[in-house]
Amino acid sequence: MRVLCVVSHPRKDSLTFKVADRFVQGLAEAGHDYEILDLHGIGFDPVLQGVDEPDWSAAEQTFSPEVEREIRRMKEHDALAFIFPVWWWHLPAMLKGYIDRVWNNGFAYGSNQLHHQHVVWIGLAGVSKEQMKKRSYDEMITHLLNVGIADYCGVSNSKVEFLYETLDSKPMHYEMLLNQAYLLGLNYAKEQQS
């Protein structure tokens, strides 16, 4: 399987990118091909402009060159992975803008839906599992990503995974988080079907 791994973090030396590196190491060892898409690295513009606004009256639509390029990139892959920090109990603005612009009408929903077999959302949370559950943040985020976005766009095999307490900088804790990421890559698609 070819997996597009979309990473959203402004710093290459972040834990988010370390998690992405370990995740794709697991993917490779499981026999999957992958591409890492660094949204900040390519200078992706998350702001939806008029040219990319969904035209509900059109079955097909031509978008800006940047969005058309990303649509082509998505079409080259069988599955998706998103790796990002959880900010304000949501996706970072960069990643939300990528979905707003690229997962557009006539491509991801409407007259067509995504062809991807699987998607995994790996959210790095600074809080503990208990804090995430306290006000059902984990359930709200999971429902939004699995149902409101993935399923709406035709991807029924969608799974949200949280890596907790990412602000705990103890080397042993970081290694545990990186090992979780590696196992998610190694077991990608297998776990989602169970």
CATH of the domain at 48: 3.40.50.360
- DSSP letter for 140, please: H
Quick one: tokens of 163?
């890596």
In one-letter notation, the amino acid at residue 64 is S
Q: For the chain, what is the domain count?
A: 1
Mean pLDDT computed over 134-156: 97
pLDDT of residue 11: 97
- DSSP letter for 105, please: B
Full domain range(s) for residue 105: 2-193
Integer angstrom CA distances of residue 16 from 12, 106, 191: 8, 31, 22
pLDDT of residue 191: 57
State pLDDT tens for residues 44-69.
Answer: 999 999 999 999 888 778 999 999 99
State pLDDT tens for residues 68-117.
Answer: 999 999 999 999 999 999 999 999 999 999 999 999 999 999 989 999 99
CA distance 147 to 143: 5
Integer angstrom CA distances of residue 105 from 4, 29, 35, 121, 161: 20, 35, 24, 22, 27
Quick one: tokens of 193?
């079907």
CA distance 101 to 52: 6
pLDDT of residue 193: 47
For residue 119, the cross-strand partners are 80, 158
CA distance 60 to 37: 25
Quick one: tokens of 65?
């060159």
> Helices 93-102 & 65-75, crossing angle to 10 degrees?
90
Mean pLDDT computed over 163-168: 94
pLDDT of residue 194: 43
pTM over 0.85: yes
Count of residues for the chain? 194
